[in-house]
Structure 1
């Protein structure tokens, strides 16, 4: 079977890798450079700490379990030069800095523990042992040993390198324009195939409409600050308790919550913002100021640390906050893998595996029903 994946971000790359591992001949195309859009504007979060019990958490848990094995297999297949992704299973720390947010944080963690997440309530003193530069205004803290970090572009390009090594084809700079039986239409001519995966991220709704099967996927803007390189100053992925509420919110207005972490290169990444403003990619100074102000409240040492740059991007948002994974019953041969919003890095491994299982008739490792395209509010 021939498959074409439209979109060379981390979700498209994971689907392509899983399909090629299952024996399909895979072509990956993107209208821009590989892994240059949503994936390049992310932080590399591989989180279980920010998801309430339900289908997305189950997908995140499956992805977290599978990703280390997947990376080990790719390292053996590709060698060290092509498989370095800066994998850091460093754990996460969530803190409440006000008494009114302590109770909800601890209740949320208890619900997650009931769903199988390692969420360890720790004292404020223990939180500062884990993060010595953390504010002393800690009302409650939860340690998540399974939270991790990966360099998102390296992860995507490693997955794509495996596809290419197995005989697949990578076509950057090619735009998909539509679909008809047995072939994908592009601005470089048709590509024969039996299966097309819509992995266009925030632009998935646009491509789906071109194929005659519109879906509701909207862009949600996010911005990240990057400091100048420092010695290792933040040991975990640390965020405040408001982050979970911001992730789950469907509000279009600006929402910010603090996420702070160090990278192997020494920079500190500061997020996060969420805003539905279409595809407006202008950097808004008031958003940057809000991120900086909240980060300093969590880590006072950041006051006076220079910000080297800021970057932003669009995440694929669905109204029910769940990804869309699987076949589209309206158009034979059309499949979707999109709608992961800011969790795509952490959900990629399980998403690719699930899509390949469904495409090849193998038993799915997670329940695919919640992610079907024909659920209310998604199939337009």
Structure 2
């Protein structure tokens, strides 16, 4: 048996951020994962740290806090995390789309988001290889990017946590009165008065082991990776309809052009969303659709080779807000899950909220919108 102040289940970037801030708060931390560091959704992510795609409300507040925290982390963690404040550019194909984008942008501005309106004839000043004829766009200087797997690894290293990798949690241990007292793995028990569920798309399964329900579902997405190129795409650039896709609850396939360069040279192309369970069947049709949309936005990419593709599963919750904080249905259980495609960006603020809950201190913002029990309120405790 091993003992700690808190056991964090999940070694992705959200679990790593929880470990980092818990460690900074003076707690002893154990992190357990059935696979390697960043072996799930984090390893299949593009590393986006975005405010541009979020409407005013609790998620945007979480994103703005994380924007500040990522800057602080970038000053402390090694440069290998590839933190880059390159900004984002959202473009509209026609005047109708531009009108909607300006209204969205104005509402964001009242919430603290920085942006700059660009007419169509100025877009190529910031992205020279964009297609001609676009109506305009909005530049978001607060958008940034990291290399997500490396960021998770360095957060874990800096946390001082004891890692238990390749060890699947088979039970959540409960004591008298139902209070959580640790987890069981094939290698032995990890004891702690608090357990954090940071298992991403598998968070519903971990919750069920503790006798509670958190309705996380997987939402599949693909990414195309091109051959290394000169920096032909300077920022994260995406079509305005991407925002609607992010907010949609549809289970059907949705694709919208998202294109971004990387410091290493390859261009990353997305984004698709569909709820198909954990089906990993490769869809050539979706890949062709993404490639065509990217080439329409950046014609220079039409003749570029795609050297690989990968897919991942975003942890989706029905109201598009993550579940963060203590679960009163199972005292000692906390959740940090359900961030969908924004987990990398929202990880630091999530970690701060979890650390505040673990130490019974005031958090950096109001966590009530993220309460894990909101989906089953009015039912008896599990």
- Give the match for residue 169 of structure 1: 162
Offset of residue 100 of structure 1: 2.9
Q: How far, CA to CA, are the matches of 2:121 and 2:108 in structure 1?
A: 23
Identify the match of residue 50 of structure 1 among 39, 53, 78.
Answer: 53
SS in 1 for 2:330: coil
- Give the match for residue 120 of structure 2: 124
Q: How far, CA to CA, are the matches of 1:86 and 1:150 in structure 2?
A: 5
TM-score (norm 2): 0.95
Structure 1 outlier segments of 4+, above 4 Å: 377-380
How has the CA–CA distance of structure 1 residues 229 and 377 changed in structure 2, closer, same or farther, with 3 Å as cutoff? farther
1:226-375 maps to which residues of 2 (within 5 A)?
226-375=225-374
Q: Does 1:198 pair with 2:194?
A: no
CA deviation map 1:65-92 (0-9, x unaligned): 111112323x3xxxx4xx6200000011
Q: Is the 8 A contact 2:213 2:376 kept in 1?
A: no
In structure 2, runs of 5+ residues without a counterpart are: 176-180
Q: How far, CA to CA, are the matches of 1:131 and 1:71 in structure 2?
A: 26
CA deviation map 1:185-235 (0-9, x unaligned): 122221111110000000000110011112100000010000001111111
Identify the match of residue 29 of structure 2 among 26, 50, 65.
Answer: 26
In structure 1, runs of 5+ residues without a counterpart are: none
Tell me the matched-pair count.
370
Offset of residue 104 of structure 1: 1.1
- Give the match for residue 144 of structure 1: 140
Q: Is the 8 A contact 1:216 1:377 kept in 2?
A: no
Q: Is the 8 A contact 1:319 1:377 kept in 2?
A: no
Q: Does 1:154 pair with 2:145?
A: no
Offset of residue 37 of structure 1: 1.0
Query: Aligned-pair RMSD on alpha carbons?
Result: 1.3
